[in-house]
Structure 1
């Protein structure tokens, strides 16, 4: 059996690398990971530098890309399904092209997608001016969101409390440093998960990618944090992306 692979009925199973969105850590995938492992796959939830249990580690956008690549290489993972939620779509999309033939698929969970030379904040209506002001006023960090931020996303009060309690300030350089891509993002084999309580239609950049042959759209009737609100359904979508 190849390192990092699992066998079931003679087939090599997928290795999911699960990257949480802004302010969150690997713990955000706690309700999804057991379902992936129960299906015989590897599941590797990842905390990005500067967040959760890695709080205090200096981090920029390139750091987060390297975090993901290092996780794949460290465990010698093959048949990798990279999963990025929200902000994490930016580093995940860049890491996907850097792991070469280790990659099987990418799943963008209601996420941003990278564009060469553009930062996470570039897509904001004001070009990121408001975010940069927030970062400047908070020591270079994006502060955790209050509980009210999560209203209307299909979350219980308990789930919201769990997210708020576990959130940590997000390092601002990861939001303002530009992405670097060496080939068109549309060449990646990808699934985009659109959470309908957050947005009824994909953003324009995502819609263009979905018009290509290698991307497909899956809709979820829930809010922006489906790993909390619909973990069973999200796990099923991830398994389908892996060909299960």
Structure 2
């Protein structure tokens, strides 16, 4: 069975994967989830964390000499992809959950006020105004759990452009995009469009695409279905 490393998106810690991780373990997989550096409220220096430090934290979650299937949600598509740039040999497969790998110079929120050191979890109405459907599938209990566990995101992670190396090893790692708040068809259309979008780096990767219709947080809205998709993908035979 697969050995899987789960990395949550912005404002979230390892706890966000609890329901998914439990189902994956029931299916026989070995699972670990990480709280990204900078999102641990007990870390006094968390707001000074860099993209590289967060990425190295992901790398260090994989024991030296071993490999993992890396699962990245939302904003983790940036630092998780950087982790595959730093140490591609530690990741046998990457699964992007409602996200895509960051490209050179990409920042999640480049318009964040430069005076701010941290980005608080926005009001739900702000999410809906930004993109209707992001909260699909989340009932009041899920929203309350999300907000209770959320930790502000360091501006150093949200607003600083990604810097990648010239090495190309990371591009050969088998990749899958699980599409929830956007469809597989839209992701591929934007990947191939001349306009700059979140999906540009996918043009350099041989990825496959799977639809799991729901909002942006399928680990809360459809944990069983997400876990079963992750299990199936993670246990696919690797090409020789």
Superposed displacement of residue 181, structure 1: 3.5
* 2:139 aligned partner: 156
Structure 1: distance between partners of 2:22 and 2:102: 29
Structure 2: distance between partners of 1:110 and 1:196: 7
Structure 2: distance between partners of 1:199 and 1:106: 16
* 2:52 aligned partner: 62
- 1:143 matches 2:120: yes
Of the three residues 166, 176, 186, the one matched with 1:182 is 166
Q: Give 5+ residue unaligned stretches, structure 1.
A: 1-12
Superposed displacement of residue 168, structure 1: 1.1
Superposed displacement of residue 50, structure 1: 1.7
- 1:201 matches 2:186: yes
Q: Within 5 A, what are the aligned runs for 1:41-60?
A: 41-56=29-44, 57=46, 58-60=48-50
**Which gives a bigger RCO, structure 1 or 2 (Cα 8 Å, sep 6+)?**
2
* 2:83 aligned partner: 95
Structure 2: distance between partners of 1:15 and 1:63: 23
Structure 2: distance between partners of 1:39 and 1:228: 19
Superposed displacement of residue 31, structure 1: 0.7
User: After TM superposition, where is structure 1 displaced by more than 6 Å over at least 4 residues in a row?
Assistant: none
Superposed displacement of residue 101, structure 1: 3.2
Superposed displacement of residue 200, structure 1: 6.9
Structure 2: distance between partners of 1:112 and 1:209: 8
Of the three residues 176, 195, 198, the one matched with 1:191 is 176
* 2:156 aligned partner: 173
* 2:194 aligned partner: none
Superposed displacement of residue 199, structure 1: 9.0
Question: Contact conserved, 1:192 with 1:216, CA < 8 A, in 2?
Answer: yes
Structure 1 length as normaliser, TM-score?
0.79
Question: Contact conserved, 2:100 with 2:202, CA < 8 A, in 1?
Answer: no
* SS of aligned partner of 1:32: helix
| RMSD between superposed Cα atoms in Å | 2.5
Question: Contact conserved, 2:88 with 2:173, CA < 8 A, in 1?
Answer: no
Q: Give 5+ residue unaligned stretches, structure 2.
A: 192-196
Structure 1: distance between partners of 2:205 and 2:155: 35
Superposed displacement of residue 83, structure 1: 0.8
Structure 2 length as normaliser, TM-score?
0.80
CA-to-aligned-CA distance 1:35-89 (integer Å, 9 cap, x gap): 111222211110011214454323111111011011113xx47341111100001
Question: Contact conserved, 1:145 with 1:164, CA < 8 A, in 2?
Answer: no
Structure 2: distance between partners of 1:104 and 1:48: 20
- Shift of the 239–181 alpha-carbon distance from structure 1 to 2, 3 Å rule, reads farther
* 1:72 aligned partner: 62
- Shift of the 97–15 alpha-carbon distance from structure 1 to 2, 3 Å rule, reads farther
* 2:7 aligned partner: 19
